[in-house]
Amino acid sequence: MEHHKVRGNGVDIHVAIQGPSDGPIVLFLHGFPELWYSWRHQIPGLAARGYRAVAPDLRGYGDSDAPAEISSYTCFNIVGDMIAVISALTSSEDEKVFVVGHDWGALIAWYLCLFRPDKVRALVNLSVPFSFRPTDPSVKPVDRLRAFYGDDYYVCRFQEVGDIEAEIAEVGTERVMKKILTYRTPAPLNIPKDKSFWGSKDETIPLPSWLTEEDVAYFVTKFEEKGFSGPVNYYRNFNRNNELLGPWVGSKIQVPTKFVIGDLDLVYYMHGVKEYIHGPKFKEDVPLLEEPVVMEGVAHFINQEKPQEILQIILDFISKF
């Protein structure tokens, strides 16, 4: 596996790359709180089949640049970074790439397909459907979430600058990473200010078979180097993104798409998400969507929990194009 920095859109983006230089590119976009490393199982599997797997650390994460300003983390900034990555790695302006996204990476992948469908051959998205599509620009999504779930809802807790960062520093990065990555309660995620969510410091958090201490150590090292402000700044732009997306209200995703979610995923239990996935609206918004897949007994970090199954779904789908 090679590691490179791609300069573009005003920042340096770190990318992990494996596979033949002339192979079809598969661009992997990670979520929160993850890194390129979240795709550690799928990257070699794609490379072994002749694809060129490319997994960046999104801006604010890992070995990529992390601008200090909250306003540097809008959907435009992040999609712009990915266009720079695609441009740096493709041999011509006409070359398209496959895209695979999870969590925030899935949201960015939707927006990438919305803004630049000319760059995407096909899309595999995990956990986050297109229910966060552009809507009335006067609507403030964070206010809606607060009205549904209250002030302790994690998206709401992430809004106050410095607040969650200070809490994470007090609790400790290792404990935070273990608690979030092993979360599998099929319900909205609340993080009360009394810090009860994290448990007592002398309480061990057992790891599932798919997550090793070495995996956690890699995440911890990178998040302790970079901090959490960049990653949570994505959430601080929810309202701003909805304003910026005004020109795309009513637009459809015109890219062949596969969608997968676990039936224990906290996103599956957000207001209206199940109805959106299984009702007619998802297919209306994404006309080239295949039948969504709901994996039983699987929680949010689906690409890490079921690495081989997700790899096979990706291969089966992109091999059609």
Active site residues: 103, 235, 300
Q: For the chain, what's the residue count?
A: 321
Residues 125/133, Cβ–Cβ less than 8 Å: no
d(CA 14, CA 314): 23
d(CA 259, CA 128): 9
d(CA 46, CA 243): 37
d(CA 229, CA 61): 9
CA atoms within a 13 Å half-sphere pointing along the CA-CB vector of 126: 31
Residues 293/260, Cβ–Cβ less than 8 Å: yes
Cβ neighbours for 238, distance < 8 A, ≥ 6 positions apart: 141, 142, 155
* Cβ atoms within 10 Å of 303's Cβ, excluding its own: 30
**Closest by alpha carbon to 33, among 195, 144, 154, 187?**
154
